[in-house]
Structure 1
Amino acid sequence: MKDHHITIIGIAGGTGSGKTTVVKKIVEALPPNYVAVVPLDSYYNDTTGLTDEERKAINFDHPDAFDWKLLIEQVNELRHGRAVEQPTYSYLISNRLPETIHVEPKPVIIIEGIMTLINRKLRDMMDLKVFVDCDPDERLIRNIQRDTIDRGRTVSMVVDRYLKVLKPMHEQFIEPTKRHADIIIPQGGENERGISILCKYIEGLIKKD
């Protein structure tokens, strides 16, 4: 598969904004097996050489937490029609797992994550840049729902982390990347009309290729 047949889409937005919902709708709108999803969350730095305390102190909402070099290398491989072994990451141990996910190149590659649009080299590889916008209160509610169920945190722990880490990191690093977006989806994953328009735009973009 030659690179000019591959469309690369970057989808960014704050934690709890509904990025996963947007990605799911795009996948559903396109033909089966047409999309490969590359989650930014899979590319946190390898912390094998750190102690447990050092791992727990990692700020996962800072750009330095990600292995941008590996991500860019693997997206580039996919863009040139070569399969990659995508890393997997565990929040429970704050480190990569030994297992990898085999990802084959597809006509559409979606890179999804909170800071997908922050790295210039990565942005330059994208044919379309999307920012999923959402009210802060809505994002907090979704974080509470997710983290209490999936990550074993209490409501007070989630709110404390939101105020001390998520909110300031969002304002400093994530919100400013909105200016790089070609398309902004207001109201996050709840905006069915906006997502539908985005899907139709992507379909048209692919047909042009």
Structure 2
Amino acid sequence: MIIIGITGGSGAGKTTVAKTIAERLGKGNVVYVSQDWYYKDQAHLSAEEREKLNLDHPNAFDNELLISDLAKLRSGQNIEAPIYDFGDQARSKKTTPIVSKPVVILEGILILAIPKLVSMIDIKIFVDAEPDIRLIRRIERDIRERNSTYESTIARYLTTVKPMHDAFIEPSKIKADIIVPRGGQNDIATDMLGDLVEHYSHHHA
């Protein structure tokens, strides 16, 4: 069992890179886990307090649960992954059953900013993209998928997303084994990653 970590700023193209690797290895061999599922449950907070939450800080995540779930997957056990509802800023009562497979792709903005997680990841990939491209993608995504407004998306970007990127995500790049420039648009890099992961997984199976 190998764990591949894919990180980078919000809107960098992490999901595109993750999908490319998963397709190369065959869906039957790969399980996908998102750090976003592991936000702490904030159901006890008022709507106003939830709106002010900093979702871009390492402490926003239930890191202990994620670490224990990854350890279970590594030992061949299945897990019940949490579901986080961004509309309500709370954890759902439902869970997602995840079956252990030979390769885990762990995707998230802060996986290399949490030392215990770093030590569990076999191949650490940082997907890089220009800040303006990431911002545009972030605006599009938040309005489309997280019923946010343009104004609140920009406010959140300036107050938490950008400062936290500069404080935690960018410095975590040094922990990466591989840095992919131009995000998911970089076909040569994603092809090379596919080859590398295939090679690695055969030798560590």
Q: How would you bin the TM-score normalised by the shorter chain?
A: over 0.9
Identity %: 46
Q: How does 1:108-187 map to 2 (within 5 A)?
A: 108-187=103-182
Match of 1:85 among 80, 84, 87: 80
Residues 112-139 of structure 1: CA deviation (Å, up to 9, x unaligned): 0000111111111111111001100000
- Separation in structure 2 between the aligned mates of residue 185 and residue 98 of structure 1, nearest angstrom: 37
AA of the residue aligned to 1:161: R
Structure 1, unaligned stretches of length 5 or more? 1-5
- Separation in structure 2 between the aligned mates of residue 57 and residue 163 of structure 1, nearest angstrom: 13
Are 1:18 and 2:18 counterparts? no
- Separation in structure 2 between the aligned mates of residue 130 and residue 7 of structure 1, nearest angstrom: 14
Cα offset, 1:160, TM superposition:
2.5
Structure 2, unaligned stretches of length 5 or more? none
Match of 1:39 among 26, 34, 40: 34
Are 1:96 and 2:91 counterparts? yes
Question: What RMSD, in angstroms, separates the aligned Cα atoms of the two structures?
Answer: 1.1
- Separation in structure 2 between the aligned mates of residue 195 and residue 180 of structure 1, nearest angstrom: 19
Cα offset, 1:154, TM superposition:
2.8
Cα offset, 1:50, TM superposition:
2.2
AA of the residue aligned to 1:143: R
Cα offset, 1:32, TM superposition:
3.1
Cα offset, 1:172, TM superposition:
0.4
- Separation in structure 1 between the aligned mates of residue 9 and residue 163 of structure 2, nearest angstrom: 11
CA 1:16/1:99 → structure 2, altered by over 3 Å: closer, same or farther? same
Are 1:53 and 2:48 counterparts? yes
- Separation in structure 1 between the aligned mates of residue 102 and residue 2 of structure 2, nearest angstrom: 6
TM-score, scaled to structure 1: 0.94
CA contact (8 A) 2:33 2:107 kept: yes
Cα offset, 1:56, TM superposition:
1.8
Using the TM superposition, name which of 141-150 and 71-80 deviates more: 141-150
SS at match of 1:47: coil
Cα offset, 1:150, TM superposition:
1.4
AA of the residue aligned to 2:95: T
Residues 161-196 of structure 1: CA deviation (Å, up to 9, x unaligned): 222221111000100000000000111111111111
